[in-house]
Amino acid sequence: MRDRDGDRDRTGHVADADVNEEDLKQRIADRMPQCGVTVPKPGRLIATVPRDGLLSLLHLLKTDGFEHLSLISCVDWIDEGELELVYHLWSQEKKVHAMAKTRVDRASPRMLSVILLFRHAQTYERELHEMFGIDFDGNPRQVPLLLDHWQGIPPMRKEFDLRRHARETFGVEERTDD
């Protein structure tokens, strides 16, 4: 990550002024009007977009130099009944970390796979399928990664009762002192 205060970063060359985040925000805003872009702090860029605009946003970011998809994470907004998918992109020469966010319905979560843009996304999508139950269309191998023959609610979802599961499966005696 870029160390703003010392104006020095790992590669040793001094980054130019913080104009490129605004410049990026402007480029995204005028090409994708429905996409809300904010720059919370230098070196960070958040773009939220509805479900079907995500692929074009990722394509746009990728052509803008965000060539590395480091992770796809998921946030469970249980009371809003939605799952939020966050695609973390990183640009090497701009030293900017872009987050493309989108919301998916919680009851039957389905999403287009980004495997065509980033081949290695297959593993991230496989894990999200296993832990949150999100179905990615186009991902060839959504087989379980850690859990074998898992029945019931995917474990990372909020409505999954961890303690009850542990007690039933592994016979955990309840702790009395916490």
Partner 1 sequence: MDRAQIPKILKSPANWGRKYSLWAVYFCTGCGIIEIPPVVTSRWDAERFGVIPMATPRQGNLFLITGYVSLKTLGAIIRTYDQMLNPKYVVGFGSCPVNGGMYWDSYNTIKHLDQYVPVDGWISGCMPRPEAIFIAVTHLWTLIDKGLADGYKRYKDNYDFYCANQRRVLPHLPKFACGTGTETATAPATLRMPT
Q: Pick left, alpha or beta for residue 167 (phi over 0 → left; psi -120 to 50 → alpha; otherwise beta).
A: alpha
Q: Restricting to residues 81-140, name those near partner 1 by CB under 8 A.
A: 140
Q: Pick left, alpha or beta for residue 168 (phi over 0 → left; psi -120 to 50 → alpha; otherwise beta).
A: alpha
CB-nearer residue toward partner 1: 22 or 161 = 161
Identify which range of 8-16, 27-35, 78-86, 145-153 contacts partner 1 by CB under 8 A: 145-153
Please answer whether residues 92 and 38 qualify as being in contact, where contact means their C-beta atoms are separated by less than 8 angstroms.
no
Q: Is residue 149 a contact point for partner 1 (CB under 8 A)?
A: yes
Of the residues 63, 108, 169, 176, which one makes contact with partner 1 according to CB under 8 A: 169
Of the residues 10, 16, 17, 170, which one makes contact with partner 1 according to CB under 8 A: 170
Residue 25 burial (10 A CB sphere; 0-12, 13-18, 19+): middle
- Binding-site ranges for partner 1 (CB under 8 A): 140-141, 143, 146-149, 155, 160, 162-163, 165-166, 169-172, 175
